[in-house]
Chain A
Amino acid sequence: MDIYDVLLRDFPFLLKGLGVAIVLLAALLAIGFLLGMAICLITLYGPKTRLVQWPLVVYERVFRGVPIIIMLFIFFYGLSGIADIPAFTAAILAMGLRSAAYQSQIFRSAFQSVPAGQMMAARAMGMSKVKAIRHIIFPQAARHAIGPWTNEFSSEIKETSLAYVIGVVELTRQAHYIITSTQGNVLTVFAVVALLYFILNRAGNSLLYAFERKLAVPGFEK
């Protein structure tokens, strides 16, 4: 059986691995989005007391400053004394919490790129702070955030492949299976895997760019 027959036979398992990667990606981006947005809003508009702001700064510094592979080990092995979490959950938590730190910075820069006068004008017209953020600042910030967010999306897709170190059988690990059971063919197998990652990445980015175009206001900031 040559390598192409093996690849054809095992292609469903590669797709299964891709499915695992996609679920992991969706979950970690969702956690990252919710938590990152919350951190951004509290940092910019929440109470300015140290009690609130310092933990957020520490959180963001730690999760951006520690390699993800070490975070994966800490969440999988280190936390086993507290809660016996399975590998997949550990991967979602470690990568999602790290993504939150990155996304909080993406959102912070997007919100801060909206001129301060906008908020003042909205308040002067009698809007509450919440209303001003919701109807004036957020719609403009969201448009600024999509570009940098495609970066986060692209890099997280590729980092899902690291989850195999704690036993999550995703696309890269499935590729390892083919390589070791056929005793080689590293180049061929990884070329196919690279193509799969590339297609997923392109598809996701195309959707995001389409969304960006749909949101674009004609004649505004162009």
Chain B
Amino acid sequence: MKGITTSILPAVMVGTMVLGSSLAATAYAQDPYTVGVEASFPPWAYVEGGEFKGIAIDAMEAIAEQAGIEIEFQDMPFPSLIPALAAEKIDILATGLTVTEERSQNIDFTIPWWETNDVVLVPEDSDLNVFTAVCCGAKVGVQGGSSQQAWMEENVLNSSDIDVELAKYDNYVTAVDDMAIGRISSVIVDDTSAQEYINAGKAVKMAGKIYIRAPLALAVAKDDPQGILGDLNQGIMAIYDSGEWGKIVGEYIPGVTVPAIPGHMPDFVDTYQKPVAGLPELGNE
């Protein structure tokens, strides 16, 4: 018995390692690229009736067809997506992902395909305006790890004496619901999502806009180990030129004005230096 029991532990350990490495072998043999999405972020990506839907989903499928690559979607909570991309657990990140300087140091962005501004949402019956909603003891809801959180920390929390507390949520739906209960006084979210909540009949209104003109883009792991950045850039351009992009966006946000592609490409993003992968005529000098 002693012999048996002492041999169980190493046997199990070796067993799991064999299991792990054989799974690793199959993972490398896989052809389709894994596209990481946050599927609780309408209208960019969500699940309805068991199927992935949203602008990023449909557009990604159109781009894949354009580029002749196979893709499969993998859902993950938003705060896990960038680490997953950095660890190459996923190959492409497609969600309403804002281009920021900090992120561009860890992942590589495609050309921007959308531009958002942030809005301050308050309850429908609130008399707060865009300034009072984010100052003087207000508790402001944002999604954890989002660009809105970064913006608030950089421009309000760390650079002024304004007394504001940030409440960080897993997703924006819970933040908006928490505001309805009265736990927080306002929510800062991008204008596309805000419009979605208002269209869905939530008792919220926009107190005002913060014009940050934040570009949104797809992303791949740093230094593009799979060599697909060029294909993605060309794919985005192609579906924009063919009008397919406009059609997809119009389906999810009826009546919206579609920003031109390529939009404003911030200097701090290294993949926006001339020549941009796949589109050598573009880029910052």
Name the contact of A179 in the complex, choosing from B9, B23, B40 (C-beta under 8 A): B40
User: Per a CB cutoff under 8 Å, which of A34, A84, A93, A129 touches B8?
Assistant: A34
Kindly identify which residue among A47, A77, A186 contacts B174, using a CB–CB cutoff of 8 Å.
A186
Is A83 within 8 A of B77, CB to CB? no
Q: Is the CB of A181 within 8 A of B46?
A: yes
| Interchain residue pairs with CB less than 8 A apart (30) | A13-B49, A34-B8, A38-B8, A42-B6, A45-B2, A46-B5, A46-B6, A52-B6, A77-B87, A80-B89, A82-B20, A83-B17, A83-B23, A84-B89, A85-B24, A86-B27, A93-B20, A130-B1, A167-B36, A167-B74, A167-B77, A177-B39, A177-B46, A180-B41, A180-B173, A183-B196, A183-B202, A184-B200, A186-B173, A186-B177
A167-B49 CB under 8 A given contacts A46-B2, A89-B23, A179-B173: no
CB-nearest residue of chain B to A174: B47
A21 at the interface (CB under 8 A from B): no
In the complex, A12 has a CB within 8 A of chain B: yes
Contact between B5 and A167, CB atoms less than 8 A apart: no
**Complex Cα gap A41–B168 (Å):** 46
Q: Which residue of B lies closest to A128 (CB)?
A: B1
Tell me the count of chain A residues lying within 8 A, CB to CB, of chain B. 48
Contact indicator A34/B12 (Cβ below 8 Å): yes
B23 CB contacts on chain A under 8 angstroms: 83-86, 89
Q: Among residues 62 to 86 in chain B, which have CB atoms less than 8 Å away from a CB atom of chain A?
A: 74-77, 80, 83-84
Q: Which residue of B lies closest to A72 (CB)?
A: B80
Could you say which residues of chain B place their CB within 8 Å of the CB of A158? none
B197 touches A176 (CB 8 A): no
Least CB separation from B5: chain A residue: A41
Given A77-B84, A181-B46, A47-B6 contact (CB < 8 Å): yes
A166 to B83, CA, bound (A): 10
A186–B47 alpha-carbon span in the complex (Å): 16
Given contacts A76-B89, A180-B40, A180-B41, contact A93 B200 (CB under 8 A): no
0/1 string, A150-192, CB within 8 A of B gives 1? 0000000000000011110100010011011111101000000
- How many whole Å from B247's CB to the nearest CB in chain A? 21
- Note all chain A residues with C-beta closer than 8 A to B165: none
User: B28 an interface residue at 8 Å Cβ cutoff?
Assistant: yes
B285 at interface (Cβ–Cβ under 8 A)? no
- Closest Cβ of chain B: how far from A108's Cβ, in Å? 14
Q: Is the CB of A12 within 8 A of B50?
A: yes
List residues of chain B with CB within 8 A of the CB of A82: 20
Q: Which A residues form the contact surface with B (CB < 8 A)? A: 9-10, 12-13, 16, 31, 34-35, 38-39, 41-42, 45-47, 52, 73, 76-77, 79-80, 82-87, 89, 93, 129-130, 133-134, 164-167, 169, 173, 176-177, 179-184, 186
Instruction: Report the separation of the CA atoms of residues A184 and B196 in the bound assembly, to the nearest whole angstrom.
Output: 12
Q: Is B149 an interface residue (CB 8 A)?
A: no
**CB atoms of A165 and B50 under 8 A apart:** no
Known contacts A77-B83, A89-B20, A167-B75; A176/B171 CB under 8 A: yes
Task: Tell me, in angstroms, the Cα distance from A134 to B42 when the chains sit together.
Answer: 58
Main secondary structure of the interface of A (DSSP, over half): helix
Which residues from B are CB-within-8-Å of A173? Answer: 75
Given the known inter-chain contacts A76-B89, A77-B83, A85-B24, please indicate yes or no for A180 contacting B171, CB distance below 8 A.
yes
Q: A186 vs B89: C-alpha distance in the bound complex, in angstroms?
A: 30
- Chain A min CB distance to B75 (Å): 6
Chain B interface residue count, CB cutoff 8 Å, equals 46
- B125 CB-CB contact with A under 8 Å: no
B186, chain A: closest CB distance, angstroms = 18
A83 touches B173 (CB 8 A): no
Give the chain B neighbours of A86 by CB distance below 8 A: 23, 27
**Residues in B neighbouring A182, C-beta threshold 8 A:** 200
CB-CB nearest in chain A for B19: A89
Q: Cβ of B50 and Cβ of A167 under 8 Å apart?
A: no
- The answer to whether A38 and B89 touch across the interface, beta carbons within 8 angstroms, is no
The residues in B between 1 and 38 inclusive whose CB is less than 8 angstroms from any CB of A are 1-2, 5-6, 8-9, 12, 16-17, 19-21, 23-24, 27-28, 36
Given contacts A34-B12, A184-B200, contact A177 B40 (CB under 8 A): yes
Query: Do residues A129 and B1 form an inter-chain contact, with CB atoms below 8 A?
Result: yes
Once the chains bind, are A45 and B1 in contact (CB under 8 Å)?
Answer: yes
Are B87 and A80 touching (Cβ within 8 A)? yes
Contact of B5 among A12, A42, A73 (CB under 8 A): A42
In the complex, A165→B280 CA distance in Å?
38
Smallest Cβ-Cβ distance to A133: which chain B residue: B1
- Assess the B76–A83 pair: CB atoms within 8 A: no
